[in-house]
Structure 1
């Protein structure tokens, strides 16, 4: 078993790191690490050693990792989609309650009057200022039906809400998992027109940044309640503040504090608690460790964000070679020719692409010589060649 060093850039759950097999060592420096585990630490300005082959993000978002630079250096970046989904789902349900009942305002009133002897009697008079509504029978729009969105939609159905879901890229798994009682919205306007509550669960990409803006809010029902537990940049803060002031938006609950959201009237702003549970941190750590370990040991890729998913199980041939390369014509032909010139037979092969990058994983009938590896590395467009076993 090879001795592989793993560097943890953040505090990673021991439930996860305990999954590393014999031959893996947790180290305090990145200098010779084969893998890195990270949560929220910013890696964009970091220099990576030539030994680094994999980065496991214990969470879903990867905006703290330089994905293109990693790809060019032949470093596979993994995330852990769905590992923290239940934790976020539960907080979203809490957000529905906070948007409906002024629980926080009522609690603040109690604390402010804690030293008043007649607080119990005064509270009976004051409580009308914090009255709200029930969510049962109300309409919820879920924008984005990934792992979290599906759980939220199903839970809301169980709570007696009428639920509409919108996702033009709905996966087969999400479709199977989604309650049959969730209505399919063909366009976003259907969500805006019909829903008393709207919750967002989409990634932050160019097409979604600022999607909840003045124009979108104008299409919504008066008094709509909006929840954002996905990404800060999905909501235009200036437009949201203006809508809250006018009363167009009754309540806004967000898990992303910033100087603007913290000052919004009528907003409930939480300190990014979505995945902050012991269970979620354990789940994310376990998933990240298993992804990194399977890649280093077997060359298999699951849940990478810069290279395609590929799985050939455990090698049963003479050896296995992993090749990260650019997605350009004739790469596979050049690779197989180089192996043929080295008198190597290929027992199994997978070649997958993702955008500008591709991955070729091959089982061969015998070990390739150092000269053979050198010749593969000379092919234009190859980023990294690795002997897996």
Structure 2
């Protein structure tokens, strides 16, 4: 598969490649990588920083979900690691600048679970409006409470979507088909779909919306994004949903507005602190409120979504490891590279500086290596050059490339 000149000079065959998959990644992802001959180890839960440092020694490909954090300290103990797969949408649990500095490619699944999250949002909007969760609880307690009090149709109500990305925009389309009026707010200039109306400020959206659904990412400046000021600006008896990032919401402020009767209900699928393993205990300030739906970060946890994610991210890890392809990488320059069994390939990750490609080609020429194809792409401070040659590249050539001052990582792909 690869030969990394920062390591002992040994070509890695597929059978030598070690993969570590954490957090119950779907079996299809595991089976795909095993089918390529890789050694695959799976673990059901997330790992702490110290646990991951211990487990990652000798690992070439790492798969995680949302609860395992990849820090610079972890990366410092992972010299063999060449790629990380986030088997989810978000990558805020990964120190992306540190992975780029280490020459480690990161991949995620930006589209695979979009529909699942949207369907959960729709289900929770209807459940809150009809008070279905409360009625179900009463029935389980043996209480027959057949009343229309507090139950409403969603048709004709206004849904405010905060964050109009892949999930927010698809929610917009489906909600409108159900008869909801849709308004949205996004810091970027997004095209409105259907009859959705763009709001110029968050305050404008809050003043209009009967339901507010949050779909923001986990970047650090979104911590505490929705708090007392925003809840106070919502309409009387409005409902609130957060299926995006737990750190974005002040749950103490939300509880106060639910207990006061200002808000009619809320549904949350994400929380500031979440258990690392299946079956671990969970606590939240929102527990015990009858008009609140709490779910354990299952927005994308349908069999269909997890199967798609497993296959998609695993295939990206394989394509990068074997062929150097960075299509849809989160941190690397975009380069779609099909396999070519008739050529040898050198993948060179480097600092984005003038003249790097000329130095690579001069060095290869001095060693008598004939170039038959070459691509170069850059992304910020990172450069990525892939060179196809017609003969085996010896360790002396790889060592010379590794010695260039701009070098981050060199891999020889067979």
Query: Which range, TM-score by smaller chain?
Result: 0.7 to 0.9
Structure 1 CA distance, aligned partners of 2:67 and 2:200?
38
Q: Are the structure 2 counterparts of residues 27 and 273 from structure 1 closer, same or farther at C-alpha, using a change threshold of 3 Å?
A: closer
Q: Are the structure 2 counterparts of residues 235 and 286 from structure 1 closer, same or farther at C-alpha, using a change threshold of 3 Å?
A: same
- Asked whether the 8 Å contact 2:131–2:291 carries over to 1, the reply is no
Q: Which of the numbers 116, 120, 124 marks the counterpart of 1:87? A: 116
Question: 1:203-239: CA deviations, max 9, x gaps?
Answer: 1113322221223334332322111001101112232
1:354 CA drift (Å)? 3.1
Question: Is the partner of 2:32 in helix, strand or coil?
Answer: coil
Structure 1 CA distance, aligned partners of 2:370 and 2:203?
57
Please list, as runs of the form range in 1=range in 2, the aligned pairs for 1:1-389 lying within 5 A after superposition: 2-3=13-14, 4-20=17-33, 21-27=35-41, 30-40=56-66, 42-44=68-70, 46=74, 48-112=77-141, 114=142, 120=144, 123-124=145-146, 127-128=147-148, 131-169=150-188, 179-257=193-271, 258-262=283-287, 266-315=291-340, 318-389=343-414
Q: Structure 2 length normalisation: TM-score?
A: 0.81
Structure 1 CA distance, aligned partners of 2:89 and 2:170?
16
1:384 CA drift (Å)? 0.7
Structure 1 CA distance, aligned partners of 2:377 and 2:289?
47
- Asked whether the 8 Å contact 1:91–1:274 carries over to 2, the reply is yes
- Asked whether the 8 Å contact 2:21–2:30 carries over to 1, the reply is no
Question: Is the partner of 1:80 in helix, strand or coil?
Answer: coil
1:330 CA drift (Å)? 4.1
Q: Structure 1 length normalisation: TM-score?
A: 0.85
- Asked whether the 8 Å contact 2:65–2:88 carries over to 1, the reply is yes
- Asked whether the 8 Å contact 1:345–1:365 carries over to 2, the reply is yes
- Asked whether the 8 Å contact 1:5–1:33 carries over to 2, the reply is yes
Question: Is the partner of 2:222 in helix, strand or coil?
Answer: coil
Question: Is the partner of 1:81 in helix, strand or coil?
Answer: coil
Question: What is the root-mean-square deviation of aligned Cα atoms in Å?
Answer: 2.7
Residue range with higher mean Cα deviation, 193-202 or 279-288: 193-202
1:158 CA drift (Å)? 0.9
Q: Are the structure 2 counterparts of residues 245 and 329 from structure 1 closer, same or farther at C-alpha, using a change threshold of 3 Å?
A: farther
Q: Could you tell me which runs of 5 or more consecutive residues in structure 2 were left unpaired when the two chains were aligned.
A: 2-12, 43-54, 272-282
- Asked whether the 8 Å contact 1:317–1:366 carries over to 2, the reply is no
Structure 2 CA distance, aligned partners of 1:279 and 1:320?
36
Structure 2 CA distance, aligned partners of 1:275 and 1:374?
44
Q: Are the structure 2 counterparts of residues 218 and 352 from structure 1 closer, same or farther at C-alpha, using a change threshold of 3 Å?
A: farther
- Asked whether the 8 Å contact 1:98–1:253 carries over to 2, the reply is no
1:255 CA drift (Å)? 0.7
Structure 2 CA distance, aligned partners of 1:166 and 1:272?
24
Question: 1:156-187: CA deviations, max 9, x gaps?
Answer: 0110111123334467xxx5xx7422223343
- Asked whether the 8 Å contact 2:128–2:291 carries over to 1, the reply is no
Residue range with higher mean Cα deviation, 329-338 or 133-142: 329-338
Structure 2 CA distance, aligned partners of 1:181 and 1:145?
14
Question: Is the partner of 2:117 in helix, strand or coil?
Answer: helix
Residue range with higher mean Cα deviation, 232-241 or 87-96: 232-241
Work out the number of aligned pairs and report it.
374
- Asked whether the 8 Å contact 1:325–1:358 carries over to 2, the reply is yes
Question: Is the partner of 2:29 in helix, strand or coil?
Answer: helix
Question: Is the partner of 2:236 in helix, strand or coil?
Answer: coil
